[in-house]
Structure 1
């Protein structure tokens, strides 16, 4: 199963990559939403995107709305992983098409639990 990590923090991408590879995902990375759209247009389509909200060039919310505008990308699971913790932004992201929302800081178990709820991880491994 393929995942795309979208975060302007290299450190955060390393942390998320470790969590996802330990769960059996193949991982690609992008530093902002615009780079992520390019990855999705040119590479194999990921089944999962982990998305930060606050990034330069294109933020995570805009990325979510752009992905949801492309019918061929309808089945990609989108999970926000961000410091944006206001109730309004959580509701906004979910209404725009995100499936889950994780607030930083998080534990590896929190990411795994969300992926299990989404049916992407079963018994500690990518489904």
Structure 2
């Protein structure tokens, strides 16, 4: 089962996303901020998917994306920046920091499934040693 870490200060976003992603077959954990995310990764290991809330007012999300990508040490991880609007400056900073793609908030089940499905492994699939 793939693991997913959701980093978002809004408890309702974490709760709704966790339910949807769990129903999609992911093991999901939600944390409120960068410090909690880094502690979770230290305790539990690198997730296969990380969803990081990002806004133009908060540069910590860009730093978190960079730190996650660095800690992954080349291992495959999907990092999705969760943004409210298409802001080219923020999107560029996230991409340069190592974000794989973006999702938009607020979201519904259909949108979240559409964004995540391309990054999910089929049930029972494992990452080969050559891909890791």
Q: Which residue of 1 aligns with 2:34?
A: 33
User: Is there any run of 5+ residues in structure 1 with no aligned partner, and where?
Assistant: none
Q: TM-score, normalised by structure 2?
A: 0.80
- Mapping for residues 50-61 of structure 1, pairs under 5 Å: 50-54=51-55, 59-61=60-62
What is the deviation of 1:72? 3.4
Whether 1:48 and 2:49 are equivalent positions in the alignment is yes
Counterpart-to-counterpart distance in 2, 1:126 and 1:63: 30
> What is the total number of aligned residue pairs between the two structures?
123
* Structure 1 residue runs of 4 or more that deviate by more than 3 Å after TM superposition: 71-74
Instruction: Give the equivalent residue in structure 2 for 1:11.
Output: 12
- For residues 89 and 124 of structure 2, the distance between their equivalents in structure 1, rounded to whole angstroms, comes to 31
**For 1:26-105, what aligned pairs fall within 5 Å after superposition?**
26-54=27-55, 59-72=60-73, 74-105=75-106
Distance in 2 (CA, whole Å) between partners of 1:14 and 1:126 is 26
For 2:95 and 2:48, the matched residues in 1 are separated by: 18
- CA distances 1:9-65 after superposition (whole Å, capped 9, x unpaired): 1011011101101101111111101110110011143111111014xx982211001
**How well do the aligned residues superpose, as a CA RMSD in angstroms?**
2.4
Moved more, 13-22 or 102-111: 102-111
Report the TM-score, using the length of structure 1 for normalisation.
0.83
